[in-house]
Structure 1
Amino acid sequence: MMAERPPGKQNLSARGIGAALAFSLVALFVLNLPDHPHAFSLRAFLHLPVEIPILALALVLLPRRMALWLAALSTGALGLVLFLRLGDIGVQSAFQRRFNPYLDVRIFADGWNVFSGAVGPLAASLAVAGAVIAFLAVLALFFLSARALTRLSGTAARNLVIAFSGVLAAGLFLWGAGLATGTRPYADTGGSAYVVSRVQAVAKAMRDMRRFDGMLATSDSLPDADTLFRAVEGRDIVLVFIESYGRSAVEDPRYAPLIDPRLDAVEAELSEAGFASASGWSVSPTMGGLSWLAHGTFLSGLWVDNQARYDRLMMSDRKSLNRLFREAGWRTAAIMPAITMDWPEGSYYGYDTIFASDDLGYEGKPFNWVTMPDQYTLLAFDRLVRHTGDDRPVMAEIALISSHAPWTPVPELIDWADVGDGRAFDAQATSGDPPAVVWSDRDRVRRQYIETIDYSLQTIGDYIARFGEDAVFIVLGDHQPAPLVTGPDASRAVPVHVISRDAQLVERFEAEGFTPGMIPGADASELSMDTMRDRVIRLFSAPPSTVQPAPAALNGAL
Structure 2
Amino acid sequence: MWRRSRTQCHDGRAEGPPVPHPTPAQLPDTEGASTGARGDGGRLRRHPGVARTVTAGTTFLAAALLLTALLLPNQLDQLRPRAFLRLPAEGIVLSAALLVLPGRARRVTAALAGAGLGLLTLVKCLDMGFYSALQRPFDLVLDWILLDDAADYVRESFGRTSEVLAIAGALLLVATVPAVTVLALVRVAERMARRRPSAGRTTLVLAVAWVTCATFGLQAGGAPVASTLDAQLVDDRVRAVRAGLADARVFTAQAAVDAFENTPPDRLLTGLRGKDVLFTFVESYGRTAIEDPAMARQVGAVLQEGAAALDAAGFAARSGWLRSPVLGAGSWMCHATLLSGLWIDNQQRYRNLVSGDRTTLNGYFRRTGAWRTVGVVPGVRKAWPEARFFGLDRSYDATHLGYRGPYFSWTPVPDQFTLEAFDRLEYGRKNRRPVMAEIVLASSHQPWAPLPRMVDWKDLGDGSVFWPIRKAGKDPAEVWKDTERVRTEYRVSIEYSLRSLFGFMRRHAHRNTVLVFLGDHQPRPEVVAGSPRRDVPVTIVAHDPAVLDRVSGWGWTPGLKPAADAPIWAMDKFRDRFLTAFGPQDPSAAQASRKATVRRTNHAGSSSQG
TM-score (norm 2): 0.84
> How big is each residue's C-alpha offset from its partner over 1:81-128, in whole Å with a ceiling of 9 and x where there is no partner?
112212222111112222211111112122223333343332343244
Query: Does 1:383 find its partner at 2:421?
Result: no
> Is it true that 1:28 corresponds to 2:67 in the alignment?
yes
Query: Which residue does the alignment assign to 2:86?
Result: 47
Give the distance between the partners of 1:509 and 1:231, measured in 2 at CA.
11
Note closer, same or farther for the CA distance 1:546–1:505 as it changes in structure 2 (3 Å cut): same
CA separation in 1, counterparts of 2:119 and 2:431? Answer: 58
Q: Cα RMSD (Å) of the superposition?
A: 2.6
2:464 maps to 423
More displaced stretch, 449-458 vs 114-123: 114-123
Find the partner of 1:447 among 488, 498, 505. 488
Question: What is the CA-CA distance between 1:251 and the residue it aligns to?
Answer: 0.4
Aligned to 2:259: 220
Distance 1:29 1:191 in 2: 12
Q: Assess, with a 3 A threshold, how the Cα gap between structure 1 residues 72 and 353 changes in structure 2: closer, same or farther.
A: same
Q: Tell me the SS of whatever aligns to 1:278.
A: strand
Which whole-Å CA distance do the structure 2 matches of 1:229 and 1:219 have between them? Answer: 16
Letter aligned with residue 438 of structure 2: E
Q: Secondary structure at the match of 1:226?
A: helix
Q: Cα gap change, 1:169/1:528 in structure 2, threshold over 3 Å: closer, same or farther?
A: same
Deviations 1:454-513, CA, capped at 9 Å, x for gaps: 011011011112201121110001111001111112420111111111123124334302
* Between 108-117 and 268-277, the greater mean CA deviation after superposition: 108-117
Instruction: Please tell me whether the aligned partners of residues 299 and 321 of structure 1 are also in contact (alpha carbons under 8 angstroms).
Output: yes
Q: Are 2:315 and 1:298 aligned?
A: no
User: Among residues 329, 342, 354, which one is paired with 2:383 in the alignment?
Assistant: 342
Separation in 2, partners of 1:258, 1:36: 32
Query: What is the CA distance between 1:76 and its match in structure 2?
Result: 1.9
Q: 2:550 aligns with which of 503, 508, 511?
A: 508
Output the amino acid matched with 1:82. Answer: T
Q: Is the 8 A contact 2:321 2:536 kept in 1?
A: yes
The equivalences for 1:100-119 within 5 A come to: 100-119=139-158
- The alpha-carbon distance between structure 1 residues 365 and 188, as it changes in their structure 2 partners (threshold 3 A), is closer
- Alignment correspondent of 1:468: 509
- CA distance, structure 1, for counterparts of residue 115 and residue 386 of structure 2: 37
Question: For residue 332 of structure 1, what is the aligned residue in structure 2?
Answer: 373
**1:14 offset after TM fit, Å?**
5.0
Q: Once the 2 structures are TM-superposed, how far is the Cα of residue 192 of structure 1 from its aligned partner?
A: 2.2
16 and 393 in structure 1: CA distance in 2 versus 1, 3 angstrom threshold: same
* Alignment-derived partner of residue 561 in structure 2: 519
Q: Once the 2 structures are TM-superposed, how far is the Cα of residue 38 of structure 1 from its aligned partner?
A: 2.6
Q: Could you tell me how far 1:55 is from its partner in structure 2?
A: 2.0
The equivalent of 1:254 in structure 2 is 294
Q: For residue 192 of structure 1, what is the aligned residue in structure 2?
A: 231
The separation in 2 between residues aligned to 1:134 and 1:206, in whole angstroms, is 28
Query: Which segments of 5 or more consecutive residues in structure 2 lack a partner in the other structure?
Result: 1-22, 33-51, 594-610
Contact kept in structure 1, 2:114 and 2:183, CA below 8 Å: no
Matches within 5 A, 1:13-92: 14=53, 17-18=56-57, 20-92=59-131
Structure 1 CA distance for aligned equivalents of residues 474 and 405 of structure 2:
19
Matching residue of 2:48: none
Pick aligned residue for 1:173 from 212, 215, 220 = 212
Partners in 1 of 2:297 and 2:506 — Cα distance? 23
Matched letter for residue 472 of structure 1: V
Cα separation, 2, equivalents of 1:512 and 1:109? 40
Q: CA deviation at 1:141?
A: 3.2
Deviations 1:374-406 (A, max 9, x none): 111011111112233453111110111111112
Deviations 1:17-36 (A, max 9, x none): 44553343223222222233
Residue 414 of structure 1, aligned match among 455, 464, 469: 455
Residue aligning to 2:599: none
Q: Deviations over 1:133-188 (max 9, x none)?
A: 35544433322222223444886343333323322332233233339xxx964224
User: Is 1:272 equivalent to 2:302 in the alignment?
Assistant: no
CA distance in 1, matches of 2:78, 2:514: 45
The equivalent of 2:535 in structure 1 is 493
- Which stretch of structure 1 is more off in the superposition, 341-350 or 298-307? 341-350
TM-aligned CA deviation for residue 270 of structure 1: 0.6
Cα distance in 2, alignment partners of residues 146 and 37 from structure 1:
25
Residues 275, 219 of structure 1: alpha-carbon distance in 2 compared, 3 angstrom cutoff: closer
Match of 2:133 in 1: 94
Question: Which residue matches 1:436?
Answer: 477
The question of 1:236 aligning with 2:261 is answered no
Kindly provide the CA deviation profile for residues 508-539 of structure 1, in whole angstroms up to 9, marking residues without a partner as x.
33430211111111111111111111121122
Q: SS of the counterpart of 2:318?
A: strand
Is 1:398 the counterpart of 2:434 in the alignment?
Answer: no
The structure-2 alpha-carbon separation of the partners of 1:480 and 1:23, relative to structure 1 and needing over 3 Å to count, comes to: same
Separation in 2 of the partners of 1:489 and 1:24? 37
Counterpart of 2:607? none
For residues 100 and 369 of structure 1, what CA distance do their matches in structure 2 show?
25
Q: Which residue of 1 aligns with 2:240?
A: 201
Distance in 2 (CA, whole Å) between partners of 1:217 and 1:154 is 60
Q: How much does 1:224 deviate?
A: 3.9
Q: Is 1:130 matched up with 2:172?
A: no
1:284–1:478 Cα contact (<8 Å) kept? yes
3-state SS, counterpart of residue 511 of structure 1: helix
TM-score by length of 1: 0.91
SS for the counterpart of 1:496 is strand
Find the aligned partners of 2:29 and 2:428 in 1 and give their Cα distance: 86
Change (3 A) 1:8 1:60: farther
Q: Distance in 1 between matches of 2:480 and 2:436?
A: 38
Q: For 1:118 and 1:161, how far apart are their aligned partners in 2?
A: 54
| Distance in structure 2 (CA, Å) of the matches to 1:176 and 1:109 | 46
Identity of aligned residues (%): 37
Q: Which amino acid aligns with 2:578?
A: V
Q: Distance in 2 between matches of 1:339 and 1:314?
A: 16
Structure 1, 297-306 or 86-95: larger mean CA deviation: 86-95
Moved more, 56-65 or 88-97: 56-65
Choose 454-463 or 190-199, whichever is displaced more.
190-199
Alpha-carbon contact 1:60-1:152 (below 8 Å) kept: no
2:399: which partner in 1?
Answer: 358
Residues 433-442 or 144-153, more deviating: 144-153
Tell me the residue number matched to 1:374.
Answer: 415
Which deviates more from structure 2 when the two are superposed, residues 331-340 or residues 385-394? 385-394
Displacement of 1:306: 1.0
Going from structure 1 to structure 2, the CA distance change for 1:204 and 1:155 (only over 3 Å counts) comes to closer
Q: Tell me the distance in 2 between the aligned counterparts of 1:76 and 1:130.
A: 19
- What is the CA distance between 1:342 and its match in structure 2? 1.5
- Pick from 307, 312, 316: which aligns with 2:352? 312
Q: 1:155 to 1:218 in 2, by over 3 A?
A: closer
Gaps of 5+ in 1: 550-558
Between the aligned partners of 1:167 and 1:446, the Cα distance in structure 2 is: 46
Give 3-state SS (helix, strand or coil) of 2:195's partner.
Answer: helix
Q: Relative CO higher for 1 or 2, CA cutoff 8 Å, sep ≥ 6? A: 1
In 1, the alpha carbon distance for the partners of 2:267 and 2:541 equals 22
